[in-house]
């Protein structure tokens, strides 16, 4: 690892100030960034740790019935504290990586990183969440911009994520056994005005909405409703863990299982 300074602000305002330093980068739980630094794939001169900022931590319901999660909230806390409000989301958080990763890794870090196989992007897109930063609010539909790419500017901090709570939902993850990430993961959420289906792990463009399945499930919320719908394997990730065609097929299977398991 190249060396860097570490700043540990206790407020968003101080974090924003610290991020104004040259080549400064936010540090969430470090569960992605620290391994990246070890490989010298990044060389910030300052890391601004966000996990000591109390106003960026915690889970609560807003007055308009959305679930608000602070950007520096670890996965384990979401798994515990969101369970009553939004069980589909809490269940997703409880299956990210392993217990030690969940005690450190944060929702803001996961959404900022936007790994094409990460779990939270599917929940945010599948719920139509709002990503709140130190500067603005971004709708999930505008936020994800391809593999590891988001609408965030340099040094912009995800301070909070707001989730509309669906009637029923489920995240079905086909685990890539070596990494524990999703080989393919599908988040299905049924709202009063329609169904959203978000797919992670599969596409070369990162997380995406499977709109054909959304239409079919909005008129009939049953696993069989997606029978006959197919995605092309040509745009899918193809690697030693699975071909594009295999992933395209898995999206259908995971969608059906998610619908069948939705609560």
Partner 1 sequence: MTQVKMTVNGKAASGDVEGRTLLSSFLREQLNLTGTHVGCDTSQCGACVVHVNGEAVKACTMLAAEAQGAEVTTIEAMANADGSLSVIQQAFQDHHGLQCGFCTPGMVMSAAALLKENPKPTEREVRVYLEGNICRCTGYHNIVKAIMAASGQDVSRIAAE
Ligand X SMILES: Cc1cc2nc3c(=O)[nH]c(=O)nc-3n(C[C@H](O)[C@H](O)[C@H](O)COP(=O)(O)OP(=O)(O)OC[C@H]3O[C@@H](n4cnc5c(N)ncnc54)[C@H](O)[C@@H]3O)c2cc1C
Which residues lie near ligand X (CB under 6 A)?
A: 25-33, 50, 71-72, 96-97, 101, 105-106, 108-110, 112-113, 115, 118-120, 157-158, 180-181
Counting every residue written for the chain, the total comes to: 263
Other beta carbons within 10 angstroms of residue 226's beta carbon come to: 23
In degrees and rounded to multiples of 5, residue 208 shows phi and psi of -150, 160
Q: Tell me which of 13, 60, 100, 149 binds partner 1, using CB under 8 A.
A: 100
Strand arrangement, sheet containing 208-209: 168-175, 182-191, 194-200, 208-209
What is the nearest approach in angstroms of partner 1 to the Cβ of residue 8? 7
What is the nearest approach in angstroms of partner 1 to the Cβ of residue 39? 7
Q: Which of residues 178-197 bind partner 1 (CB under 8 A)?
A: 179-180
| 1 touches partner 1 by CB under 8 A | yes
What is the nearest approach in angstroms of partner 1 to the Cβ of residue 180? 6
Which residue, chain included where needed, has tokens 């239409």?
215
| 49 touches partner 1 by CB under 8 A | yes
Q: Which of 17, 104 has the CB closer to partner 1?
A: 104
Residue 4 contact partner, candidates ligand X, partner 1, none, CB within 5 to 8 A by sort of partner: partner 1
Residue 218 contact partner, candidates ligand X, partner 1, none, CB within 5 to 8 A by sort of partner: none
Spatial CB neighbours of 119, under 8 Å, sequence gap ≥ 6: 92, 93, 95, 96, 110, 171, 173, 181, 182, 185, 200
Q: Which of 180, 249 has the CB closer to partner 1?
A: 180
Is the CB of residue 108 less than 8 Å from the CB of residue 28?
yes
In degrees and rounded to multiples of 5, residue 49 shows phi and psi of -75, 130
Helix-then-strand count for the chain, H and E:
10, 12
Residue 5 contact partner, candidates partner 1, ligand X, none, CB within 5 to 8 A by sort of partner: partner 1
Q: Which of residues 129-188 bind partner 1 (CB under 8 A)?
A: 179-180
Of 213, 202, 215, the closest CA to residue 255 belongs to 213
What is the nearest approach in angstroms of partner 1 to the Cβ of residue 104? 6
Q: Tell me which of 63, 64, 98, 153 binds partner 1, using CB under 8 A.
A: 98
Determine the Cα angle at 43 with ends 42 and 45, to 5°.
145
Q: Which of 68, 83 has the CB closer to partner 1?
A: 83
CA distance 66 to 200: 23
Two tokens at 125? 């897109």
Q: Give me the residues that bind partner 1 (CB under 8 A), please.
A: 1-6, 8, 27, 30-31, 34-35, 37-39, 47, 49, 51, 76, 97-101, 103-104, 179-180
């Amino acid at each position: 690892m190249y060396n860097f300074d570490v700043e540990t602000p206790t407020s968003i305002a101080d974090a924003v100030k610290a991020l104004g330093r040259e080549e400064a980068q936010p540090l969430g739980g470090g569960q992605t960034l620290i391994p990246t630094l070890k490989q010298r794939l990044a060389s910030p001169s300052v890391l601004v740790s966000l996990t000591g900022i109390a106003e960026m931590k915690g889970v609560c319901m807003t007055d308009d019935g959305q679930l608000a999660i602070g950007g520096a909230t670890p996965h384990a806390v979401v798994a515990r504290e969101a369970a009553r409000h939004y069980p589909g989301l809490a269940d997703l958080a409880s299956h990210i990586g392993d217990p030690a990763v969940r005690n450190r890794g944060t929702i803001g870090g996961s959404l900022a990183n936007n790994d094409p196989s990460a779990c939270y992007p599917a929940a945010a897109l599948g719920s139509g969440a709002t990503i709140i930063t130190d500067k603005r609010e971004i709708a999930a539909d505008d936020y994800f911009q391809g593999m590891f790419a988001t609408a965030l500017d340099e040094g912009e901090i995800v301070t909070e994520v707001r989730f509309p709570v669906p009637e029923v939902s489920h995240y079905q993850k086909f685990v890539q056994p070596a990494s524990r990430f999703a080989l393919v993961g599908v988040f299905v959420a049924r709202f009063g005005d329609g169904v959203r289906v978000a797919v992670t792990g599969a596409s070369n463009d990162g997380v995406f909405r499977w709109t054909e399945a959304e239409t079919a499930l909005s008129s009939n919320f049953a696993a069989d409703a997606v029978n006959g719908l197919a995605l092309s394997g040509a745009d899918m990730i193809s690697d030693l863990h699975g071909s594009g065609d295999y992933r395209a097929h898995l999206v259908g299977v995971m969608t059906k299982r998610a619908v069948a398991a939705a609560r």
